[in-house]
Structure 1
Amino acid sequence: MNLNKNVWLSLFSILVLSIIVSCGTKKSDAEKEDKVENTKENTATEWVSIFNGNDLTGWTIKIPGHELGENFGNTLRVEDGILKVRYDEYGPEFGDRFGTVYYDKYLTNYRLKVVYRFVGETAPGAPTWGYRDSGIQFHGQPPATQKLDQAFPVCLEFNFHGGNGTDERPLGAACTNGMFIEHNRVQNKTTCIPADVLKTFHGDQWVTAEIDIKDGLIIHYVNGEEILRYSNPTYNIENATAKLLMTNGDKRVKGGFISLQSNSHPIDFRSIELMEY
């Protein structure tokens, strides 16, 4: 078959264009796949145990009236793979020694999961509110800045309450010390805001408490169920210690240290896991 020169040129141009389009499409598809893979990699998270079950490596104790790191009365001890808070060596009086054990890392966006249970009897001489009371403190001040006799750090708290076997005593309240939060877009007027979903756990049963913190939104979970959410934590400028934690006058709380309370009632922590975003 005879084809003139123009026809041949047209066919050749079509062939070249088809190859270019095909290559471009393959390249575009490859770039999309790479982008998806990179996104998966950037958002991939996993639980990491931050309590090794053997000792308090990575944690620092602070008990009022005692220097940072001093474990007065063997309050914090690890036995049988469990972090235990005990007061059997305190003597006849608790003496307002409300302790804290800090995880040694500044954190911003993360999810924390703690499995705990209350056991035994409240320490002699403890306040009545100390009965089956503890909690997770977070967005806390650096451990080294806590004063010798300072009872509680500037922080937020996921409060733990345990039932007495009869009465309702829900856990999961959000408590503040030297900070404010917004619940339903309203700044708190009281120290503690109760959970929206009320749950009481009696006896020595294990309970799983989780906190999810991301970009100023904070959510409390109990045994996998959301019970409270709030947002926009800010420092209380009328609190002298909190004011020192501000940067260039910025009241927003962007992160801090997590810690577990020693509030006068024995408590066990079976596992402590962290997932950073």
Structure 2
Amino acid sequence: MEKELLQEDSQIIVIILIAIMVLLLMAVSLVLFFFFSRKKIIAAELEKANLEISYQKDLLHSTIEVQEEERKRIAQDLHDAISSKLNVVSLSTNFLIDGNLQEDEKDRTLQHILAVTTKTLESSRRLAHNLLPPILENFGLQAAIEELCDEFICSQKLQIDHNIVYTNLLSKNNELHIFRIIQELLNNSVRHGNATKVTLQMNEENEQVFIKYSDNGTGFDVESVNKNKGIGLKNIESRVDILDGELSYDSKIGKGATFNISTNTPKQ
């Protein structure tokens, strides 16, 4: 009887020990599971942070590159449109000061100075307009885009079918970004796409601005462009990112290009 009780006690002790071992194994397994899971989560978060840093570096590099290209363009325009013409005025004025010209030569020189000065004033107004269109400041984004389209139409470079619906949703700075994006798209259609027709639609819904742009130009290979983006596309991407928006585009060689842009940036 006593022996049987001892055997039962031994069995209970063994069961208890086995239960304790199982619980310890489960506890260790849970600790290891949470440890490695946490490690994976941290690794994923680090990878995400590194990707974000890499993206921000690429965006900063693209923005700086675009800014430098803009500075070069402005400097070239200043040289071609203003500096060179002022040099002509200076030379012509020196001829007058020397006093060795006949009366008819003086008249021709004065007329030439007047003509060059008039062209220089026109060039300076055009440069100022390109830097910050007065109509954008005075009459808003819709009027500025419509005027931009009319300029391309009047130059007979493009036939533009445009429908702009906008009610002062964005801040002035963000409106300028939208204007520059559309300006860049039109320039690209003419310079690189050799397009003759463009369709531009812009509307707003739920405090978002939506832009759909398409042309009938030569198009491009999307995969190649994604690997080696030009200044124009980088400029557009940088501005869309500043607007906290989204950009998608599609194109095929010989079949034109389509761009879809949306912005989530409210008026500030």
TM-score bracket, normalised by the shorter chain, equals 0.3 to 0.5
Greater Cα radius of gyration, structure 1 or 2: 2
Higher helix share: 2
The normalised TM-score by structure 1 is 0.33
- Normalised by the size of structure 2, how large is the TM-score? 0.34
Bigger relative CO (Cα 8 Å, ≥ 6 apart) = 1
